[in-house]
Amino acid sequence: MYERIFAALRDDIRSGKYGIGDRVPSEKELADEYNVSRITSKKALEWLSADGWIVRRPGRGSFVAGPAGQTASLAGDGRALSKSGAARGKLLIGLIINDFSEGFGTRLVHGLEETSRERDSYLIVRRSLGDPACEEEAIKGMLEIGVDGLVILPAHGEFFNAEILKLAIGKFPLVMIDRYLTGIPAGVVCTDNMAGAKRGVEHLFDLGHRHIGLLAPPPDHTTSVEDRIDGFVKAHAERGIPVDRELWMKDILSTMPSAFTAENRERDILKIKRLLQSRPRITALFAIEYNIALLAREAASRLGLAVPGDLSVICYDCPEMNGTYPFTHLRQQEEEMGRTAFEQVIDLLEDGGTPNRTLLEAQLVQGNSTALAPVHR
């Protein structure tokens, strides 16, 4: 099949269907047209390049070659060549992320960087620290140095940064991680947070827990947090167990990058401690993220409550320590998230197609923080 595709494209170039500098169909377009895998279509394009019929530009596409293997144009690329990946010969993708740690982010960056290597491209990273102003500055700075596409894990907040909206509306190659824009076309790669949270709460139900507290940062229209809360509620509804919102705490601030201080951490520990004291019927806590689970465990310890003997705790994400996991958790596919996001940016660059929304499953991983509900409580 790749020989057939090679011969067909070569004949189209010979006949003048594609002139010097014209863009030829991409790997994806050829795969769809001939009903083959992208490995097959890629092989055909590699053969054409090796024989001097086309020049392949990473992240931009393949173009009919002229004398000495040069293209006469870049088919109306529309960007200044001094700043384009085609002119550099290397694709440059920017990553803007709140922060990354052992809890979440490190494996995500690893997946992005590995894929950039495989694609003979480069990844540059800037942390926003959850500050919308820093995020805006990072976006503008990366555009100034000529990135070909962006992957952004947006800062938490009630509104999206105006620069992100501009990128989406202007159809700049953009893929967002963890959050999405309702009603605005932009690539998205995130965890199926609703299904994951539902799976975690069902695990607690199966252990006999019925009074489960919820610990979260302010949702502020942050879709990942909202979806996890929705999954928490849905699990209760499907089991016919009433949701007790008196057991909820949605104002945990110290785990946010912009408020990560010892003073705020102590304040949140005391708030969780008071919740457990005032609601002794709580036998389990669902923490939206790993760092909140750490706060919950500290609050329980100060009250003399053993985890998991007296209080079970479950969360999203958890690093492995000495071959075990401190918390039972929902593990996000961080590396796959990074790989998928990078590939989506390239697809948008090469094909100019419709942005996709990809949801990845979260896996329930048994740790040392959940057990049967205590009968004495």
Per-position pLDDT tens, the chain of length 377: 888 898 899 999 988 898 888 889 988 888 889 988 888 888 888 888 888 888 877 656 788 886 544 444 333 333 333 344 544 468 899 999 988 776 788 899 999 999 999 988 999 999 988 788 888 899 999 988 889 899 998 876 555 677 888 888 778 899 999 877 666 677 899 999 999 999 999 999 999 999 999 999 986 657 788 899 999 999 999 999 999 999 999 999 888 766 778 899 999 999 999 999 999 999 999 999 999 999 999 999 999 999 999 999 999 999 988 888 999 999 999 999 999 999 999 888 876 667 788 999 999 999 999 999 997 54
Superfamily of domain 194-331: Response regulator (3.40.50.2300)
- Separation between Cα atoms, residue 315 and residue 19, nearest integer Å: 57
Does this model's pTM top 0.95? My answer is no
Q: Which residues contact 250 (CB under 8 A, 6 or more apart)?
A: 214, 216, 217, 218, 219, 229
Residue 318 burial (10 A CB sphere; 0-12, 13-18, 19+): buried
Where in the chain are the domains? 2-78, 83-191+333-362, 194-331
DSSP lists the bridge partners of residue 124 as 94
Domain covering 2-78, topology:
Arc Repressor Mutant, subunit A (1.10.10)
Helix, strand, coil percent values for the chain (each to nearest 5): 45, 20, 40
- pLDDT confidence of residue 79: 34
> What is the DSSP secondary-structure string of 252-321?
--TTSGGG--HHHHHHHHHHHHHHHHH-TT--EEEESSHHHHHHHHHHHHHTT--TTTT-EEEEE----B
- pLDDT confidence of residue 334: 92
Structure tokens at 282: 């709580």
How many other β-carbons are positioned within 10 Å of the β-carbon of residue 234?
A: 17
- Separation between Cα atoms, residue 334 and residue 191, nearest integer Å: 9
- Separation between Cα atoms, residue 19 and residue 13, nearest integer Å: 7
Supply the CATH classification number for the domain 83-191+333-362. Answer: 3.40.50.2300
- pLDDT confidence of residue 179: 78
- pLDDT confidence of residue 270: 97
Same fold, 2-78 and 194-331: no
